[in-house]
């Protein structure tokens, strides 16, 4: 357990109220040195846990602020240590004064994520729950909030812990067999182990496959906006984001690099990628931008192909051979822009040009990005194309890359166990593969994680959490 006492401002600047968290073995005694309850006959150190005390912060005889201080005693606190939280006025001057007083009396400034790291080290939560704290703080939609809450409640960890414990039982039986190898006995029922391995393979496979959905919910469904120069890609991006993110001009080749931003539409987060216009050019910088366009196209799950309705026939003829092969496995939406400049007969003719496109994954729509005509219908098409399930707090979906990598390695190990059982491998080989599977499952909860991994995880937290 940590021996020093830490402090940090736990609230964002600019609010009417500010909060400073203090945690560690001297948290209560150090707070008592600068805080005096309003009732003179009361000592703060004598207060009951979970109590809230009104009083003043003093620097010598000078009153810094009137505050409320909450008290938590080990082990019943967020960190598992003695803790106090000082709620004062949100003035940056007051917050800094209180912080400096705490440091003078023996505290040190907390590192990013140190409160949650202490909670993990003191057994208040496992590592996957601790990582979910950062996801909860960063959640920007209802779906990301539900996923983070589900992980914080430990559903993910409990499912993996149950599997690990069953594997531990079998590997102990197999290793016991090795002690009696000369007697040729089997303590571990191979048929029961085969049934368990199949069950574990199904669970881990489901979790690994859920990462695509989880990553899309957490990071946003990637949508590439492509097309010829001056087709209205940047105008559409600005309309979707409701801000002037991209430069709009009648000059061809204005967008020379990739522009990305995220927005929530109907509860689904999309990561829009505005790319350089595709055309033949001798400009080296613009050519590099066009090369990046095709790289981003490979990464997208949904492709918005912007086509200038006035010159649509020539654009489709010139670019379809470059774009269609790269859209295999993706959802393609052909967006005929500037549709206010053409008649209904021309629209019918343009729709006919798409008959040879893969019909199961291709849609089209007529809009005017400049006039914001039909853009709401385009947003509905995007939501339907995302195919994201409705997420509840009971769903177990993997969103963390570290968890995905560990599960993938655990899946490889359990596949070797299954193959070993089918091939009647000896117990020592089976035991090695089972223990490897256990290792990677345990790594998710932090039971085998080294200090370097912990440092990498918690350094990305905000200070005060």
53 annotated to a ligand binding site: no
The token duo for 223 is 């949508």
Residues paired with 59 in a beta bridge = 62
232 annotated to a ligand binding site: yes
CA–CA separation, 459 and 443 (whole Å)? 18
Q: Find out whether 399 and 158 touch, Cβ atoms under 8 Å.
A: no
266 annotated to a ligand binding site: no
Q: Is 109 helix (H, G, I), strand (E, B) or coil?
A: strand
Beta-strand ranges (E) seen in 139-237 are 221-227
Residues paired with 62 in a beta bridge = 59
230 annotated to a ligand binding site: yes
254 annotated to a ligand binding site: yes
Residue 411 C-alpha from the chain's centroid: 22
The token duo for 296 is 């981003």
375 annotated to a ligand binding site: no
Q: 91, 115, 92: which is closest to 27 by C-alpha?
A: 115
275 annotated to a ligand binding site: yes
338 annotated to a ligand binding site: yes
CA–CA separation, 213 and 96 (whole Å)? 43
342 annotated to a ligand binding site: no
380 annotated to a ligand binding site: no
233 annotated to a ligand binding site: yes
Q: Find out whether 440 and 412 touch, Cβ atoms under 8 Å.
A: no
Q: CA angle 46-47-50, nearest 5°?
A: 145
DSSP 243-305: S--S---SSTT---S-EEEEEEETTEEEEEEE-PPP-----HHHHHHHHHHHHHHHH-SEEEE
433 annotated to a ligand binding site: no
21 annotated to a ligand binding site: yes
CA–CA separation, 254 and 87 (whole Å)? 51
The token duo for 230 is 């001056």
Quickly tell me which residue has 């209180």 as its tokens.
98
Q: Find out whether 249 and 329 touch, Cβ atoms under 8 Å.
A: no
DSSP letter for 157, please. H
8 annotated to a ligand binding site: no
CA–CA separation, 203 and 197 (whole Å)? 10
276 annotated to a ligand binding site: yes
428 annotated to a ligand binding site: no
249 annotated to a ligand binding site: yes
465 annotated to a ligand binding site: yes
387 annotated to a ligand binding site: no
DSSP 328-369: TTSEEEEEEE-GGGS-HHHHHHHHHTTTTS-GGGEEEEE-BT
419 annotated to a ligand binding site: no
252 annotated to a ligand binding site: yes
Query: Known binding site for GTP: residues?
Result: 230-235, 249-255, 274-277, 337-340
Query: Known binding site for K(+): residues?
Result: 230, 249, 251, 254
Query: Known binding site for Mg(2+): residues?
Result: 234, 255
Query: Known binding site for (6S)-5-formyl-5,6,7,8-tetrahydrofolate: residues?
Result: 21, 85, 124, 465
Query: Known binding site: residues?
Result: 21, 85, 124, 230-235, 249-255, 274-277, 337-340, 465
């Amino acid at each position: 357990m940590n021996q020093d006492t830490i402090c940090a401002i736990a609230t964002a600047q600019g609010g009417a109220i500010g909060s400073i968290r203090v945690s560690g073995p001297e948290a209560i005694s150090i707070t008592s040195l600068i805080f005096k309850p309003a009732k003179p006959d009361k000592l703060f150190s004598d207060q009951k846990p979970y109590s809230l005390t009104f009083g003043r912060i003093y620097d010598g005889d000078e009153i810094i602020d009137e505050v409320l201080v909450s008290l938590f005693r080990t082990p019943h606190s967020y960190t598992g240590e003695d803790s106090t939280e000082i709620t004062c006025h949100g003035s940056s001057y007051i917050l800094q004064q209180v912080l400096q007083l705490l440091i003078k009396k023996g505290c040190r400034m907390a590192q990013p994520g140190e409160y949650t790291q202490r909670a993990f080290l003191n057994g208040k939560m496992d590592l996957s729950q601790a990582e979910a704290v950062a996801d909860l703080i960063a959640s920007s939609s209802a779906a990301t909030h539900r996923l983070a809450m589900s992980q914080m409640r430990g559903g993910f960890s409990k499912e993996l812990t149950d599997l690990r414990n069953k594997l531990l039982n079998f590997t102990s039986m197999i290793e016991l067999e090795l002690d009696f190898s000369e007697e040729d006995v089997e303590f571990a029922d191979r048929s029961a182990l085969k049934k368990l391995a199949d069950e574990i393979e199904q669970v881990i496979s489901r979790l690994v496959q859920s990462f695509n959905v989880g990553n899309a919910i957490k990071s946003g469904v990637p949508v590439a906006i492509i097309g010829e120069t001056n087709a209205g890609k940047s105008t559409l991006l600005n309309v979707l984001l409701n801000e002037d993110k991209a430069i709009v001009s009648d000059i061809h080749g204005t967008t020379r690099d990739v522009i990305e931003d995220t927005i929530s539409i109907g509860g689904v987060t999309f990561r829009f990628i505005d790319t350089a216009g595709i055309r033949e050019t001798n400009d080296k910088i613009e050519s590099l931008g066009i090369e990046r366009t095709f790289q981003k196209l490979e990464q997208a799950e949904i492709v918005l192909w912007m086509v200038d309705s006035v010159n649509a026939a020539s654009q489709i003829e010139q670019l379809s051979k470059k774009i269609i092969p790269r859209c295999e496995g993706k959802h393609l939406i052909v967006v005929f822009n500037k549709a206010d400049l053409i008649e209904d007969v021309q629209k019918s003719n343009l729709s006919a040009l798409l008959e040879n496109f893969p019909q199961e994954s291709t849609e089209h729509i007529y809009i005017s990005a400049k006039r914001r005509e039909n853009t709401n219908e385009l947003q509905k098409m995007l939501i339907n194309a995302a195919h994201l399930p409705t997420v509840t707090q009971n769903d177990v979906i993997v969103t963390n890359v570290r968890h995905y990598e560990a599960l993938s390695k655990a899946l490889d190990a359990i596949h070797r166990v299954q193959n070993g059982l089918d091939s009647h491998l000896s117990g020592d080989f089976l035991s090695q593969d089972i223990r490897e599977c256990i290792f990677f499952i345990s790594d998710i909860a932090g039971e085998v994680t080294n200090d370097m991994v912990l440092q990498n995880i918690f350094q990305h937290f905000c200070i005060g959490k």
